[in-house]
Structure 1
Amino acid sequence: MPTRSHFDHELELMNIDLIKMGSMIEEAIAKSIKALEAGSKNLALEVIEDDSKVDDLEKAIERRCMRLLLRQQPVAKDLRAISTALKMITDIERIGDQAADIADLSLRFQNGLDVRVAEHIPQMARIAVEMVRDSIESFVKNDLDLARATMKRDDDADDLFNIVKNELIESIITSKENADEIIDCMMIAKYLERIGDHAVNICEWVVFYSTGLHKKTQIL
């Protein structure tokens, strides 16, 4: 196989692995919230156990990237593609960790999430999943418009987090007997907010990949 064709093939395999890793964490977020809502211990444990698969795939992508850097000596945009992937997998792996953390907290909710206490958490989770999916898709398709749109969605996630925070503060004042559960809900909401932040980080690296720039002020 000619050198350039081999390089392009390896890049394509890298993209496929990134898509797979992204799908895994999307599923992990959705499952962790489902476990929370249903009070499903088995589903929560499944998310926690599967986190090691995300870690393994991160290492595999990292090894592929390092082989490309050392053997192919890429230049210009090819080099940015590889360095972007290396940065992205760090954020993707952390998202997986946070989904596992949510699943771990869900084990404390034996009867599932009380929507009267935190009715907006499932909505936060939906936004988080969409942001993660779109951030990775923006890299694979080199879609700057999608990256920018995803970054702007973080404002919606932050606004919703503030609503959840205020609702939970009000709940802990009026329902002190549920204080532990309310604090756990606050932690879950914070993890979801952080997932949105990681999706933004991924989008910023997509912009770097496409333009060579990595500052919000230069792209918004």
Structure 2
Amino acid sequence: MSEMGDMVIESISLAIDSYLTGTNTKDQVLKLSDSIRVKYYEVEDLTFDMLLKYQPVADDFRLIRSSTEISYAFSRFGRYAYDITLVRDLFGDVSECTNASLVESTKKVKHMIKEAVLSFAELDIRKAIEIREDEKFIDRIYRERLPKLIESTNTRCALAEALLLRYLERIGDHAVFMSDAINYIVTGKHRPTDERIASHTKTEHDSSSNPN
């Protein structure tokens, strides 16, 4: 999963570079997207084998099920990254367009993916709070920029930015979906409540304070 996360971050960085700098990264991103999809199939095959061979109990079943969902989300990230590179093919070099909102949204998206990977590795549902806050930030940028883009006199830049912000917004949605899947592993529920997050924090604190 960590390797898939690294590939996703690289693919998104390359994809956004294709827009911000006017470089053609389509082939590189497509290769990464294909590699991520292969990893997804590997995870899917592995989880299926585990279900057949080991007949997992509830906790293990939640981990297996959520692993498939999370790896699928990674595969969608790769596809969205490739779609972003196609914006450059459609509109040409638009690196002269205003891009501050895209830069901010991209930073948040990368942070969300890193937090999702760490959350899965550590089974830490507290990171879901940060992921959701980042997602709200991305949604807010999208909502605030869209009316301005509609009124823009530069149609090419406006359409390109609207598409890219929409792709980043969808990536953010999938990152939240991942955090919900991680919460399902830990608690058996798809979305953490404040009480569950506090309980998880207290349990971890007690465990670290009492080595026995």
TM bucket (normalised to shorter chain) is 0.7 to 0.9
The reply to whether residue 136 of structure 1 matches residue 136 of structure 2 is no
Task: Report what 1:202 is aligned to.
Answer: 178
The reply to whether residue 76 of structure 1 matches residue 81 of structure 2 is no
Of 33, 56, 65, the residue aligned with 1:51 is 33
CA RMSD of aligned residues (A): 1.8
Instruction: Assess if the C-alpha contact under 8 Å between 1:207 and 1:213 holds in 2.
Output: yes
Aligned residues: 196
Task: Report what 2:146 is aligned to.
Answer: 165
Alignment of 1:176-187 (within 5 A): 178-187=154-163
Q: TM-score under structure 1 normalisation?
A: 0.82
1:74 alignment partner, SS class: coil
Deviates more, 1:99-108 or 1:204-213: 99-108
Instruction: Assess if the C-alpha contact under 8 Å between 2:119 and 2:127 holds in 1.
Output: yes
Instruction: State the Cα distance separating 1:146 from its structure 2 match.
Output: 1.0
2:100 alignment partner, SS class: coil
Gaps of 5+ in 1: 1-17
Q: TM-score under structure 2 normalisation?
A: 0.85
Superposed CA offset, 1:42-88 (max 9, x none): x2321123211111111011111111111111112111111110111
Task: Report what 2:207 is aligned to.
Answer: none
C-alpha distance in structure 2 between counterparts of 1:20 and 1:145, whole Å: 22
Instruction: Assess if the C-alpha contact under 8 Å between 2:105 and 2:138 holds in 1.
Output: yes
C-alpha distance in structure 2 between counterparts of 1:115 and 1:34, whole Å: 13
Instruction: Assess if the C-alpha contact under 8 Å between 2:4 and 2:74 holds in 1.
Output: yes
Alignment of 1:1-220 (within 5 A): 18-41=1-24, 43-116=25-98, 118-171=99-152, 175=153, 178-215=154-191
Instruction: State the Cα distance separating 1:166 from its structure 2 match.
Output: 2.7
Gaps of 5+ in 2: 198-212
Instruction: Assess if the C-alpha contact under 8 Å between 1:48 and 1:103 holds in 2.
Output: no
Superposed CA offset, 1:159-187 (max 9, x none): 1112221331231xxx1xx3133212211
C-alpha distance in structure 1 between counterparts of 2:130 and 2:161, whole Å: 28
User: Residue type matched to 1:170 in 2?
Assistant: E
C-alpha distance in structure 2 between counterparts of 1:78 and 1:207, whole Å: 14
C-alpha distance in structure 1 between counterparts of 2:145 and 2:96, whole Å: 13
Superposed CA offset, 1:143-163 (max 9, x none): 111122212321111111122
C-alpha distance in structure 2 between counterparts of 1:52 and 1:44, whole Å: 12
Task: Report what 1:11 is aligned to.
Answer: none
Instruction: Assess if the C-alpha contact under 8 Å between 2:2 and 2:117 holds in 1.
Output: yes
Segments ≥4 residues shifted beyond 3 Å: 108-112, 215-220
Instruction: Assess if the C-alpha contact under 8 Å between 1:45 and 1:104 holds in 2.
Output: no
Identity among equivalent positions (%) equals 25
